């Protein structure tokens, strides 16, 4: 019989096994990284004004969202969280007065190559009925700031593209860029030799120059691609585990049956239709029980920590929503099937609160302070007084609610600036337009004297605050730096006294 202080052989064996298991668990715990925390809660839509054809990038700590404008202006939103995009300021990053391309901007996309951002979009000729004159164009950023400033670079079209609905050669919309074997290709939707509206591709010698003709890689032939008319448009590349997929929008956008299809590059030359294999069923489509209709024209982005894949898209909340500004921007996470293909699931109903992308750490901002570039002081409602006509001036930034502003998108490229403390808006006295007109707060009257364009001016989130009625900007009188220096309208002089930095705040 063993001594009382000794364990029987079986007991010693069990103890040894338990010790080994404990060591293994400790080793795994030490070497396995902790799962990233879920992102900040968000609710679709993430953009409810001008939300069609969304493109979203996560870069250097912020999301950047750009969508169709239907005008000659491009605006962009920026937020450190996905949830924050819904209340983020819409900043004007580009406008065009050139008559051949200054209206009906559609489907902008943002791509980074060789130290610059390139904004691809289609636009129409002024005075020409929609939508025959849509052509594809590209802008180039001055540096690595996704908001620019941007300059016009080139038109991307050629004679291989036959007319649009009723006009000249070159009709092309919904441009994107495919990367394959270290080469760039421009994707889009157009017509060749009288074809139906199809997916087309052309090689590029650099991000703003075509180097060959367009060819068709997919035409609408299946029944789900022809609802309301045969359409293939909105091609969007998706790369995963060495494979290249291409989602696209199918059927007419006027119908509730607008949806996403999918191609996979299974050949070596992406310019050949035979190199692409089309999935015979849709991959993302309407869900009547969720109240989601015509989901389509998507983009893709990754979570801040790079572990999750997300889709951004537009949809209607009514079956007769059509192709206009009623479409809103939505986003949701997607996964991958066992065979390596994407699984987008079903579109989520509006009002459903979901965890945001993993790795988000910032607080979701809901308002801004507006800091003058020259003085470093904040736009302030004097004393937080709630009366109409209370003066708006600059004051040392102190975090008070009377220095916080909601920048609310009005859906027409303008915004109203709503003071958090008083609920009233920035207004120009008497709707006057002269230099020196006072800026004060007033109850919302929905007139142009109370509407402003926030025009991105310089890296660092500096904007000029342009009054829609007068075309003049918010200016600190005489470039003063003292507390109480008045803020007024003045002709744009491009000086620091007329530039304001948007600082997000909760």
Minimal CA–CA distance to 307: which of 340, 335, 332?
335
Mention every residue, 6+ apart, whose C-beta is less than 8 A from residue 86. Answer: 42, 43, 45, 46, 47, 48
Phi, psi dihedrals of residue 429, rounded to the nearest 5°: -55, 125
Residue 66: closest CA among 118, 102, 101, 103: 118
Q: Where does 68-115 show beta strands of DSSP type E?
A: 73-79, 91-95, 103-113
Angle, alpha carbons 339-335-109 (nearest 5°):
110
| Helix, strand or coil, per DSSP, at residue 490 | strand
Three-state DSSP state, 412: coil
Question: DSSP E strands: which ranges in 251-375?
Answer: 259-265, 276-278, 293-302, 309-316, 328-336, 342-343, 353-356, 367-372
Q: Count Cβ atoms below 10 Å from residue 374 Cβ, excluding itself.
A: 17
Alpha carbons 187 and 198: distance in angstroms, whole number = 11
Handedness of CA 66, 47, 85, 500 (dihedral sign): positive
> What is the C-alpha to C-alpha distance for residues 400 and 444, in angstroms, rounded to an integer?
22
The residue from 145, 233, 360, 438 that is catalytic is 233
Query: Catalytic pick from 53, 96, 174, 360?
Result: 53
C-alpha–C-alpha distance, residues 334 and 345, integer Å: 7
What span, in angstroms and rounded, lies between the C-alpha atoms of 260 and 273? 18
Rounded distance, CA 467 to CA 463, Å?
Answer: 13
Q: Taking the C-alpha atoms of 267, 268, 272 and 276 in order, what is their torsion angle to the nearest 10 degrees?
A: 30
* Phi-psi sector, 148: left (phi>0), alpha (psi -120 to 50), beta: left
Dihedrals phi, psi of 382, to nearest 5 degrees: -50, 115
b/e string for 478-497 if b means 16 or more Cβ within 10 A? eebeeeebbbbbbeeeeeeb
**264 catalytic residue (yes or no):** no
Known catalytic membership, residue 408: no
69 with 75: CB under 8 angstroms? Answer: yes
Catalytic positions are 53, 233
């Amino acid at each position: 019989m063993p001594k009382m202080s000794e364990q029987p052989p079986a007991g010693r064996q069990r103890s040894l096994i338990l010790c080994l298991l404990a060591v293994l668990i400790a080793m795994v715990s030490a070497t396995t990284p902790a799962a990233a925390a879920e992102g900040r809660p968000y609710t679709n839509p993430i953009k409810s004004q001008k939300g069609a054809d969304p493109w979203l990038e996560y870069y250097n700590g912020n999301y950047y969202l750009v969508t169709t404008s239907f005008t000659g202006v491009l605006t962009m939103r920026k937020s450190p969280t996905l949830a924050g995009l819904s209340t983020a300021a819409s900043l004007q990053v580009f406008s065009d007065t050139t008559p051949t391309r200054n209206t009906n901007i559609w489907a902008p996309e943002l791509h980074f190559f060789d130290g610059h951002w390139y904004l691809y979009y289609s636009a129409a000729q002024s005075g020409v009925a929609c939508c025959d004159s849509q052509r594809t164009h590209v802008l180039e950023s001055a540096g690595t700031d996704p908001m620019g400033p941007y300059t016009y670079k080139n038109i991307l079209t050629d004679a291989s593209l036959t007319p649009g609905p009723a006009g000249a050669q070159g009709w092309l919309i919904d441009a994107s860029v495919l990367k394959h074997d270290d080469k760039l290709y421009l994707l889009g939707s157009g017509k060749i030799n009288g074809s139906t509206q199809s997916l087309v591709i052309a090689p590029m010698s650099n991000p703003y120059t075509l180097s060959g003709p367009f060819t068709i890689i997919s035409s609408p032939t299946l029944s789900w691609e022809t609802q309301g008319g045969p359409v293939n448009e909105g091609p969007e590349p998706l790369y995963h585990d060495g494979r290249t997929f291409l989602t696209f929008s199918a059927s007419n956008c006027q119908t509730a049956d607008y949806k996403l299809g999918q191609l996979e590059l299974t050949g070596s030359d992406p310019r050949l239709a035979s190199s692409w294999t089309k999935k015979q069923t849709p991959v993302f489509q309407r869900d009547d029980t969720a109240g989601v209709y015509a989901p389509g024209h998507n983009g893709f982005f990754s979570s801040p920590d790079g572990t999750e894949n997300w889709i951004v898209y537009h949809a209607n909340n009514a079956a007769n929503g059509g192709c206009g500004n009623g479409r809103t921007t939505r986003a949701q996470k997607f996964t991958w099937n066992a065979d390596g293909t994407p699984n987008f699931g079903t579109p989520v109903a509006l009002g459903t609160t979901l965890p945001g992308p993993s790795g988000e750490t910032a607080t979701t901002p809901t308002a801004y302070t507006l800091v003058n570039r020259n003085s470093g002081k904040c736009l302030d409602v004097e004393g937080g007084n709630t009366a109409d006509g209370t003066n708006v001036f600059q004051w040392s930034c102190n975090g008070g609610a009377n220095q916080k502003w909601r920048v609310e998108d009005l859906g027409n490229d303008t915004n109203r600036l709503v003071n958090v403390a008083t609920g009233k808006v920035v207004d120009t006295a008497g709707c006057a337009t002269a230099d020196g007109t006072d800026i004060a707060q007033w109850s919302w009257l929905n007139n142009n004297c109370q509407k402003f364009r926030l025009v991105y001016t310089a890296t660092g989130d500096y904007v000029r605050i342009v009054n829609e009625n007068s075309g003049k900007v918010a200016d600190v009188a005489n470039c003063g730096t003292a507390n109480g220096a008045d803020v007024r309208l003045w002709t744009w002089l491009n000086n620091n006294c007329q530039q304001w930095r948007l600082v997000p705040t909760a």
